[in-house]
């Protein structure tokens, strides 16, 4: 790039403009790489979990997670369930806990999404 030494202020502005372009490019690159990373370490999605929950779990655990009155111990918002780790909840979902059937046909990520949604239900009052 040719820098016009006779018009210092114009050159200065031009340099500034270039800097801000570089900054924008840098931010764009960051956004793109963050997107790529999120593809590899997919965060559990409570929203995706909600859809599965509505079709497979609500019948016993109710839409609120507080459990159906006819199904004993099905309150997922009870202190005992809140205290369990994500891994413990995931294991119960995968293996079942009679009378709850096993959901071993769900993928690991579907189960993590369900756990994320159960946590969301537990945080509602
Ligand atoms: C047939 C009814 C039924 C269905 C369907 C069902 N559950 Fe359950 N679930 C129960 C019952 C009853 C318990 C309590 C079992 C026990 O007493 O240990 C339970 C326990 C759990 C627990 C452990 C709670 C705790 O306090 O340890 C989790 C987590 C859970 N269910 C999640 C799910 C999810 C997610 C689904 C859907 C994929 C699901 N359940 C489907 C009846 C059901």
pLDDT digits (tens, 9 = 90+) for 46-68: 999 999 999 999 999 999 999 99
**CA 40 – ligand 1 centroid, Å:** 30
Whose Cα sits closest to atom 40 in ligand 1? 57
| The model's pTM | 0.76
Whose Cα sits closest to atom 11 in ligand 1? 74
What phi and psi values does residue 77 have, to the nearest 5 degrees?
-100, 5
What phi and psi values does residue 100 have, to the nearest 5 degrees?
-75, 130
**CA 98 – ligand 1 centroid, Å:** 8
| Cβ within 8 Å of residue 118, ≥6 positions away | 49, 53, 65, 76, 81, 89
| Contact 55 CB / ligand 1 (< 6 Å) | no
Write out pLDDT tens, residues 18-29.
Answer: 677 777 776 666
Spatial distance between the Cα atoms of 24 and 123, rounded to a whole number of angstroms: 38
Residue 104 clears pLDDT 80, i.e. is over it? yes
| Contact 115 CB / ligand 1 (< 6 Å) | no
Residue ranges per structural domain of the chain: 1-41, 46-123
Superfamily (CATH H level) for 46-123: Cytochrome c-like domain (1.10.760.10)
């Amino acid at each position: 790039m040719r820098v016009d030494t006779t018009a210092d202020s114009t050159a200065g502005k031009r340099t500034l403009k270039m800097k801000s372009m570089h900054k924008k490019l840098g931010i764009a690159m960051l956004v793109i790489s963050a997107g790529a990373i999120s593809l590899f370490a997919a965060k559990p999605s409570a929203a995706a979990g909600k859809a599965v929950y509505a079709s497979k779990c609500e019948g016993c655990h109710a839409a609120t997670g507080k459990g159906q009155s006819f199904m004993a111990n099905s309150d997922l918002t009870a202190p005992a369930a809140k205290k369990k780790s994500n891994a413990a909840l995931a294991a119960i979902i995968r293996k079942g806990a009679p009378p709850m059937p096993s959901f071993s046909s769900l993928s690991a990520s579907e189960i993590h999404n369900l756990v994320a949604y159960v946590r969301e239900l537990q945080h509602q009052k």
